[in-house]
């Protein structure tokens, strides 16, 4: 197993281990997280899928381990969030030369909602949009073309515009157990030896091991 390779599947150039394609310091991705794109080059994820993400804002995209991100999923950052506390939503500070404003106040054109944080083992569906400042818990599922404007609890399925909870994947007791064992932080040998239990959702056997 090699989480540092770009293309994990022989002959498949549409699927990448995302961490191996990232060059920008304000995007952090965990091991084995995959991105599939059948429309564009998946190695260009940080340019095509992470929007309005400029260093001046100092916000980050943080994605955990073993996540599955479908084609066209987008992560919308602060600069796409025009300021609504102003009388006008027009970004005057951005055009400081035109309006004789202080160029050091460019970020006043928008409201900074902070980092987008995606937990571990999260599945983000086709063309879903994750808005700025949103935190998605471990094991969550984001439905196709959902627009996520609020935090999503662990092991929760959401969908729609704006995204709303559809159901929990497991009982609250089982969810607590999954969060406690954090199998995604195990070493490769332990994950391999427990792979059938992970795939079968056998939480009791995972706890035993």
Residues designated as active site = 82
Please give the Cα distance from 142 to 145 (Å, whole number): 8
- CA 112 → CA 57, 138, 147, 195, distances in Å? 7, 24, 18, 41
Q: Which two tokens stand for residue 39?
A: 């429309």
Structure-token pair, residue 134: 């949103």
- Burial class, 92, CB count within 10 angstroms (exposed 0-12 / middle 13-18 / buried 19+): middle
Copy the structure tokens of residue 199.
């795939």
Please list the residues that pair with 16 across neighbouring strands.
35
């Amino acid at each position: 197993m090699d989480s540092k390779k770009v293309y994990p599947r022989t002959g498949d150039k549409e699927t990448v281990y995302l961490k191996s394609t990232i060059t920008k310091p304000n995007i952090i991705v965990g091991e084995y997280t995959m991105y599939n794109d059948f429309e564009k080059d998946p190695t260009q994820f940080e340019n095509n899928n992470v929007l309005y993400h400029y260093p001046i804002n100092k916000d980050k995209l943080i994605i955990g381990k073993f996540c599955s991100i479908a084609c066209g999923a987008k992560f919308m950052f602060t600069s796409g969030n025009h300021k609504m506390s102003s009388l006008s939503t027009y970004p005057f500070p951005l055009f400081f030369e035109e309006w004789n404003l202080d160029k050091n106040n460019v970020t006043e054109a928008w409201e900074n909602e902070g980092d987008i944080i995606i937990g571990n083992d999260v599945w983000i569906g086709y063309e879903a949009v994750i808005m700025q400042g949103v935190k998605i818990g471990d094991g969550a599922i984001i439905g196709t073309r959902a627009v996520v404007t609020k935090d999503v609890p662990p092991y929760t399925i959401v969908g729609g515009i704006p995204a709303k909870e559809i159901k929990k994947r497991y009982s609250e007791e089982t969810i607590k157990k999954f969060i406690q064992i954090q199998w995604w932080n195990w070493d490769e040998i332990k994950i391999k030896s427990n792979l059938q239990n992970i795939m079968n959702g056998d939480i009791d056997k995972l706890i035993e091991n």
